[in-house]
Amino acid sequence: MRVEHIYRYPVKGFTPEALEQVQLNPGLCLPHDRGFAVALGDTVFDPAAPAWMRKTHFACLMKNESLARLHTAYDPQTGEWLIRTPEGAMVHGHLRSAQGRAAIEDFLTAYLGEAARGRVRVVSAPDHNFTDIPQKSVSIISLASLAALERAAGMRLDPLRFRANIYVSGGREWADFDLVGQEIQLGAARLRVFKRILRCAATEVNLDTAERDAAPQRLLRQHFGHADLGVQAEVLDGGRVCLGDALEALEPG
């Protein structure tokens, strides 16, 4: 299998950013991946003692499909985050300061309306990632498996509906599931695949229209007997991963 796409998601639930290469580090997520989140008004998150919380505590596509209408860009050097609406309106601010976040929080609170559950807050904490599972990991999706789902659905499904970090081509359908429990070589990095990814309602959302126009969970269960697509892997040995790099299973030991 070969790496076709690499993505990070600087703010949970918002626009992915494509990369040509990435440096993976042991025990960590991709750099700048889900390092920020938009906490809903009734969410209690302590940046001094960060703990993993379910995605429903934050703005996310599973519950807030209107987020797909917003296009965002994050500059990790400056900490600036820009939000643009389809109508061309823009708001931006420095995510590393309370003052810089204020305009963004005002905008998103108004944009989400009742779904904001109060005034939202942009939150972060050192070395914390707002991932869907407690373990820091890298998510990998086989495009061959996605193609099998598309054939069953009778429609194209944008791979970004599934918000993975690494998309790989080649190999047979569902071959990535066989990697669970195994170590893999991904570019110059070594990882251990530890679980399949159970898909959620976020995959229903068309990222161009912000409408729920597909039911991947139901289709997966109906045609394949499960609701999984992709796998999670922890980084054991760090290294650089580039587009075109190979993903290979390592023999036990």
Q: Is the pTM of this model over 0.85?
A: yes
Q: How far apart are CA 57 and CA 195, in angstroms?
A: 23
**Block residue for tokens 């081509």:** 169
- Residues 165-209: tens digit of each pLDDT: 999 999 899 999 999 999 999 999 999 999 999 999 999 999 999
Predicted confidence (pLDDT) at residue 69 exceeds the cutoff of 70: yes
- pLDDT value at residue 252: 62
What does the block give as tokens for 5?
A: 């796409």
Sign of CA dihedral 32, 38, 53, 181: negative
**DSSP output for 57-83:** GB--TTT-GGGGG-EEEEETTTTEEEE
Does residue 89 register a pLDDT over 90?
no
Q: Which fold has domain 2-28+133-249?
A: M1 Pyruvate Kinase; Domain 3 (2.40.33)
Boundaries of CATH 2.40.33.20 in the chain? 2-28+133-249
Residues making up the chain, counted from first to last: 253
Residue 165 has a pLDDT of 98
Task: Report pLDDT digits (tens) over 148-162.
Answer: 999 998 999 999 999
Q: How confident is the model at residue 253 (pLDDT cuts 50, 70, 90)?
A: very low
pLDDT of residue 99: 87
98 burial level (CB within 10 Å; 0-12, 13-18, 19+): exposed
